[in-house]
Chains A and B, each alone.
Chain A
Amino acid sequence: MIRVVLPAHLRTLARVNGEVTLDVKGQVTQRTVLDALEARYPMLRGTIREHVTQQRRAFVRFFACEQDLSHEPPDAPLPDAVATGAEPFLVVGAIAGG
Chain B
Amino acid sequence: MSGVRVLVGTRKGAFVLTADGKRQRWEVSGPHFGGWEIYHLKGSPADPNRLYASECSSWFGQIIQRSDDGGKTWHQPGTPPGEPTTTPDGTSKGESNKFVFDTSSETGKPLTTHQWYDGTAHPWEFKRVWHLEPSLTDPDTVYAGVEDAALFRSTDGGRTWQELAGLRGHGSGSRWQPGAGGMCLHTILLDPSHPGRIFIAISAAGVFRSDDAGKTWRPINRGLKSQYIPDPNAEIGHCVHRIAMHRSRPGVLFMQKHWDVTRSDDAGESWHEVSGNLPTDFGFPIEVHAHEPDTIYVVPIKSDSEHYPPEGKLRVYRSRTGGNEWQALTKGLPQRDCYVNVLRDAMAVDALEPCGVYFGTTGGQVYGSANAGDTWAPIVRDLPAVLSVEVQTLP
Question: Contact: B95 with A45, CB < 8 Å?
Answer: yes
Q: Compute how far the CA of A57 lies from the CA of B60 in the bound complex, rounded to whole angstroms.
A: 7
Q: Compute how far the CA of A60 lies from the CA of B59 in the bound complex, rounded to whole angstroms.
A: 6
Is B232 an interface position by the 8 A CB rule?
A: no
Is A9 an interface position by the 8 A CB rule?
A: yes
Residues of A within 8 A of B35 (CB): 8-9
Q: Compute how far the CA of A7 lies from the CA of B36 in the bound complex, rounded to whole angstroms.
A: 13
Q: Compute how far the CA of A14 lies from the CA of B85 in the bound complex, rounded to whole angstroms.
A: 13
B104 to chain A, nearest CB (A): 14
Is A10 an interface position by the 8 A CB rule?
A: yes
Q: Out of B78, B85, B98, which one reaches A40, CB within 8 Å? A: B85
Question: Contact: B63 with A47, CB < 8 Å?
Answer: yes
Residues of B within 8 A of A50 (CB): 61
Question: Contact: A9 with B62, CB < 8 Å?
Answer: no
Interface of B is mostly: loop
Question: Contact: B81 with A41, CB < 8 Å?
Answer: yes
Nearest chain B residue, comparing its CB with the CB of A50: B61
B333 to chain A, nearest CB (A): 30
Interface residues on B, range: 20 to 34
Is B79 an interface position by the 8 A CB rule?
A: yes
Q: Compute how far the CA of A48 lies from the CA of B94 in the bound complex, rounded to whole angstroms.
A: 13
Question: Would A9 and B100 be within 8 Å (CB), given that A42-B85, A42-B94, A43-B79 are in contact?
Answer: no
Residues of B within 8 A of A22 (CB): none
B residues 34-66 near A (Cβ < 8 Å) are 35-36, 57-63
Residues of B within 8 A of A57 (CB): 59-61
Q: Out of B85, B95, B100, which one reaches A39, CB within 8 Å? A: B85
Residues of A within 8 A of B187 (CB): none
Q: Compute how far the CA of A57 lies from the CA of B63 in the bound complex, rounded to whole angstroms.
A: 14
Residues of A within 8 A of B59 (CB): 7, 9, 57, 59-60, 93-94, 98
B interface residue numbers (CB < 8 A to A): 35-36, 57-63, 76, 78-79, 81, 85, 92-95, 97-98, 100
Beyond the given pairs A46-B98, A60-B59, 18 more chain A to chain B contacts, judged by CB atoms under 8 angstroms and listed by A's residue number, are A7-B59, A9-B57, A9-B60, A13-B60, A13-B63, A13-B76, A14-B81, A15-B81, A41-B81, A42-B78, A42-B92, A43-B79, A45-B94, A45-B97, A47-B63, A50-B61, A51-B98, A57-B61
27 contacts between A and B (CB under 8 A): A7-B60, A8-B35, A9-B35, A9-B36, A9-B60, A10-B60, A13-B63, A40-B85, A42-B78, A42-B85, A42-B94, A43-B76, A43-B79, A43-B94, A44-B94, A45-B95, A45-B97, A46-B62, A46-B98, A47-B61, A48-B60, A51-B97, A59-B59, A60-B60, A94-B59, A98-B57, A98-B58
